[in-house]
Structure 1
Amino acid sequence: MAGTAAAASKKSAAAARPKKSGSGGGSVAKKAYLIAYNAASAVAWAAVLGRVAVVLAWRGAPFVPLVVDNFARITQTFAVMEILHAITGVVPAQIFTTLLQVASRLILVWGIALPFPELSTSPWYSSMLLAWSTTEVVRYSYFVFKQVDAVPSWLNWMRYSGFLVLYPVGISSEVAMMLKAVAGPAASLSEWYPLALIAVLLAYIPSSFVLYTHMLKQRRKNVGGGASAALKKRQ
């Protein structure tokens, strides 16, 4: 009787345990999706980087928007998926910092470059795209390798060190573009538009601080001693 009861108990426990096959399938599908998404994003931003670099060296900043403006706008708009990923938990990203970065860039490509194409001939537009595209090629490539647990040490370093230079370049270029719009054609769109852009510029002060300090924390965790300590904890 005791043996029969024990066997029945084991069967009940086994039946109560969730099957791993379904979750494993979901995990594989999620990983495949993230690899495809990040790889496509890396390629798209590499195309932006290549176009800007070639045209800038060949013809100069005034010609950059002729070959990259629409493509860069589409590529950046596609990054709205980053917000959805953070909200739905597809990736463990902070919703607030993701929203800040994506929203500020959308303002630049849709609220500045599109209605005021003359501003895109400025060197600030080219430096902005160079900073964005370099950052994103590194970031998305890093995420591709991370999905297969094979991130090269040099790529890990670039992911968590490149921002030290690229963020200030990108942010200063964005601010310069907005200031040029406020001082120039923004009022032609609406008398309230310059005020709206000024409000965005004021928001840049705390938001830039949040983004930069967030990356500094990530750098401490993932580069040098912080990365070694994290590895020991996992082991």
Structure 2
Amino acid sequence: MRQFNDSEHNIQNEESVILFLVVWTVTEITRYSFYTFNLLNHLPYFIKWARYNFFIILYPAGVAGELLTIYAALPYVKKTGMFSLRLPNKYNVSFDYYYFLIIVMFSYVPLFPQLYFHMLRQRRRVLHGEVIVEKDD
């Protein structure tokens, strides 16, 4: 199994990495500011507003950055066999990280809308006081 080392610098220089790092940073600053002020029982409206509005742009941008980074890494992962385990080995198990990454990319298709629409419902409930009735499946 190939271990993690410094040879992934090609991928680290992708613009998509900067995109998702900036998005994650803004998201976490907003989220933890919200939690902190909430714990102090002094939540400024701007922090509350930012927590429930910034995600509208940040979430799709972050997902795009993640997917573009994974896509950029695929040729390198395939060429090097990074994190893959081939047979025969003492565990008698095979794992191909390249195909795992492809499955992860495709998992965004059903998961992203669910999470995004959940946040939109939360936004309506918190900012507009709407009562959202969840449907039973």
TM-score normalized with structure 1 length: 0.46
Residue matched to 1:206: 110
Unaligned runs of 5+ in 1: 1-111, 230-235
Identity rate, percent? 30
Superposed, 1:13-28 pairs within 5 Å as none
| Offset at residue 116 of structure 1 (A) | 2.2
TM superposition score normalised by structure 2:
0.76
Q: For residues 183-222 of structure 1, what are the structure 2 equivalents within 5 Å?
A: 184-187=75-78, 188=80, 189=82, 190=84, 192-222=96-126
Larger Rg: 1 or 2?
1
Q: Distance in 2 between matches of 1:198 and 1:128?
A: 19
Matched, 1:181 2:87: no
Q: Does 2:23 align with 1:131?
A: yes
Deviation at 1:139, TM superposition (A): 0.4
Report whether the alignment pairs 1:226 with 2:123. no
- Which residue of 2 is the match for residue 169 of structure 1? 61
Q: 1:198 to 1:143 in 2, by over 3 A?
A: same
**Could you list the runs of 4 or more consecutive aligned residues of structure 1 that deviate by over 3 angstroms after TM superposition?**
112-115
Work out whether residues 167 and 212 of structure 1, in 8 Å CA contact, stay in contact via their aligned partners in 2: yes
Q: Output the CA distance in 1 between the equivalents of 2:32 and 2:106.
A: 29
Shift of 1:200: 0.5
Counterpart position of 2:39: 147
Cα separation, partners in 2 of 1:226 and 1:201, compared to 1, 3 Å: same
- Structure number with greater CO (CA < 8 Å, separation at least 6) is 2
Q: Return the offset for 1:207.
A: 1.6
Verify the 8 A CA contact 1:113 1:119 in the aligned structure 2.
Answer: no
CA RMSD of aligned residues (A): 2.1
Task: Extract unaligned runs of 5+ from structure 2.
Answer: 87-95, 132-137
